[in-house]
Structure 1
Amino acid sequence: MNDQTLRSPIPTHSTNSINSTNSAQFGWEIPNGNRRMPSDIREYIPRVRRMLDRISGHFHSAWIPDHFMNDRQDNFPESLTTLSYLAGLYPNLHFGPVVLGQNYRNPALLAKMAATLQMLSGGRFVLGLGAGWHVDEYRAYNFEFPGAAARIAQLAEAVQICKLMWDPAQPTATFHGQHYRVDGAACFPKPQPPPPVMIGGAGEKLMLRVVARHADWWNLVGVSPETYARKIRVLENHCAGVGRNPAGIRRTWMGVVSIAATRRQAEAALARYPIWPEDVAIVGTPEEVTARLREYTALGVDLFIVAFADEPAFDGLELFIRDVMPEFEV
């Protein structure tokens, strides 16, 4: 699938996916749940819009996690509803979920929803999908939660159903899988072009094989350059096994950036930000952040989806736009 019409030009990766120009695009992670949510939900959209107003014209995209609840009763706006609203307000930005739990929504209905959002946004939607993992949500919402291998197999089938339903050469889609099936399912209007499918996941035995077979884009969350490099080697082996050139899969990274005039200030901001213990943030002065980002671009990563540790303040964002982003322009 060719997604070049969905984003401003980025140099084409070579066959070994090395980003020789160190160019990159940037996306912003929209708050959802425990990450940077205002205590008063009435402040949510004004706060998000202030940030989107500032990044519009600089950033490529905005992304929202797909979760429903936690044990603290934090506010969790539904992801696709929120993206649909925001995409109509910001025509300069692309939008996507990062990433949807594949079995939170029937895959045929999901294909229809994605096609509609792609049409309404004028081709600015990216369908981010993962296998799903938050067992408490599954149980609370009465979704089935099979084992990891089954959920990953479901993910592969869901992507196939979406792409079949979007195919302009196929008036209807019929697919009989082990987990999902559709019989003569139609999806009109067909999305033109079909949205890229970004698969999020790092499991080396099963998940990366699904990425090799089905992903247009690939997302890893909070991993170091060293870990990313190891995952690339595994992915390349899977690509060889399925006869696919790995250069055809766009590499993306998502995580936290804590940037300030001094490293001490950046570390202090990160200490106040809730991240998973295993996640690796990008921390430091503009020079240090730039150098760290270049470690990823050297691996072929050309889209970074970031949250700033000092949000809702704009200090980190402003410093990033002024002193870091020019180093990665095409």
Structure 2
Amino acid sequence: MSMRFGVFVPQGWKNDLDEIADPVEQYEAMTQVAKLADAGPWDSIWVYDHFHTFPEPTMNTTFEAWTVTATLARDTTRVNIGQMVGCNGYRHPSLYAKMASTVDVASRGRLYAGLGAGWYEHEWKAYGYEWSEVPARMAAFREAVQIVHRMWTEDEPVFQGKHYSIDKPINEPKGVRKPHPSFWLGGGGEKVTLKLVAQYADGSNLGNGDPEIIKQKLAILREHCDRLDRDYDRIAKSTSLNLQPGDTTADMTRKVEQIREAGADYVIAYFPRVAYDHEPLLRFAEEVIPQFA
């Protein structure tokens, strides 16, 4: 099974820009990694949709996801650009759909539009978003996915739900990629998220690099696809891979091989010090990716 690869750019969320004092230089460090990926053989670059650093909120840079997505779309020419994943609670789904359509055009069809239910409670409350427990967030997420899909595929979409409603919003242009911008859903919830993936998504992100979890969740996804008569093979099945400083080529290859054996066909790699040291990124591209392409 051939695989595709993406890479997270250093955005600040994991304190990965803290050693650079000037915010302009921080942004340029992020852009430089994006341009290296654009030179190949990476399929995509990714950002997180967060406002505060993780695992602890600190007074450090975290660049906003959709602003970054739009600018990187113009700083690159080849790679796809996505969010892993957009937080549904931070934007009304109708606005999300409109923003994604615009960026899909700006990138000439290179957007991977990611969406998830969200989870970083501290961040929600700090920015004034109403926090709710899992059942309510998942219910809102289910409605949001339907609204986004309708706004990308219908001229006069109407939706009336418990959490959201739309009444014939005009969304022109709807994007460049056909039949609509590439839609990726994040999360492994077996009853809601994975069913939504089978119904609406072009890509899924689950398992956080753990082969056993990946295998378990993909089995559930396949069951949903079978029930809905959806072609399982047409869905990109991605997972995140957190690499460590000092990982050898053999270490990286072994981790990817385990992920492939679990059934994933897409790896999104995170290199914690890539803003300061490009060598692991370049070595992964030169020595690991060709083994799985």
Q: Which residue of 2 aligns with 1:212?
A: 198
Gaps of 5+ in 2: none
Provide the rounded CA distance (Å) in 2 between the counterparts of 1:242 and 1:187. Answer: 28
> Scaled by the length of structure 2, what TM-score is found?
0.90
Contact 2:218-2:263 within 8 A present in 1 as well:
no
Q: How does the TM-score come out when normalised to structure 1?
A: 0.80
Q: Structure 2 residue aligned with 1:308, among 271, 274, 277?
A: 271
Which residue of the partner structure matches residue 46 of structure 1? 28
Report how far residue 221 of structure 1 moved: 5.1
Kindly tell me the number of residue pairs found equivalent between the two proteins: 283
Counterpart contact for 2:9–2:34, Cα < 8 Å: no
Out of 43, 52, 55, the residue aligned to residue 60 of structure 1 is 43
1:27 aligns with 2:10: no
Amino acid at match of 1:189: P
CA displacement at 1:295 relative to structure 2 = 2.5
Residues 19-168 of structure 1 aligned to structure 2 (within 5 Å) = 19=1, 23-32=2-11, 33-39=13-19, 40=21, 41-58=23-40, 59-70=42-53, 71-167=57-153
Question: Shift of the alpha carbon at 1:226?
Answer: 1.6
The answer (yes or no) to whether the contact 2:214–2:263 under 8 Å persists in 1 is no
Give how far 1:220 is off: 1.8
Q: Distance in 2 between matches of 1:201 and 1:149?
A: 14
For the residues of structure 2 that align with 1:52 and 1:155, how far apart are their CA atoms? 30
**Identical-residue share of aligned pairs (%):** 31
In structure 2, C-alpha distance between the alignment counterparts of 1:25 and 1:122, rounded to whole Å? 20
The RMSD of aligned alpha carbons is 1.8
Match of 2:184 among 192, 198, 203: 198
What's 2:250 paired with? 287
Quote the Cα distance in structure 2 between the aligned partners of 1:254 and 1:243. Answer: 27
Counterparts in 2 of 1:146 and 1:243: CA distance versus 1, 3 Å:
farther
Distance in 2, Cα, partners of 1:104 & 1:47: 26
Q: Tell me the residue number matched to 2:170.
A: 186
Preserved contact between residue 80 and residue 110 of structure 2 (Cα < 8 Å): yes
Runs of 4 or more, structure 1, over 4 Å off, are none
Question: Is 1:229 matched up with 2:215?
Answer: yes
Cα distance, 1:52 vs structure 2: 2.2
Q: Distance in 2 between matches of 1:116 and 1:107?
A: 14
SS at match of 1:226: helix
CA distance in 2, matches of 1:243, 1:121: 32
Question: Offset of 1:25 from its aligned partner?
Answer: 1.8
* Deviations 1:98-150, CA, capped at 9 Å, x for gaps: 11111210111111110011111100001101101111111111212222122
Helix, strand or coil for the counterpart of 1:37?
A: coil
Conserved 8 A contact 1:34-1:74 = no
CA contact (8 A) 1:26 1:305 kept: yes
Matched, 1:325 2:278: no
Contact 2:142–2:192 (CA under 8 A) maintained in structure 1:
no
Residue 86 (structure 1) shift:
1.2
The answer as to whether partners of 2:185 and 2:193 remain within 8 angstroms in 1 is no
SS at match of 1:126: strand
Q: Deviations over 1:133-173 (max 9, x none)?
A: 11111111121222212211211211211111111xx3211
Task: Tell me if the contact between 2:46 and 2:82 (Cα under 8 Å) persists in the aligned partners.
Answer: yes
Retained in 1: the 8 A contact 2:31–2:75?
no
Residues 252-295 of structure 1 deviation map (CA, whole Å, 9 limit, x = unaligned): 11121236xxxxxx2xxxxxxxxxxxxxxxxx431332233122
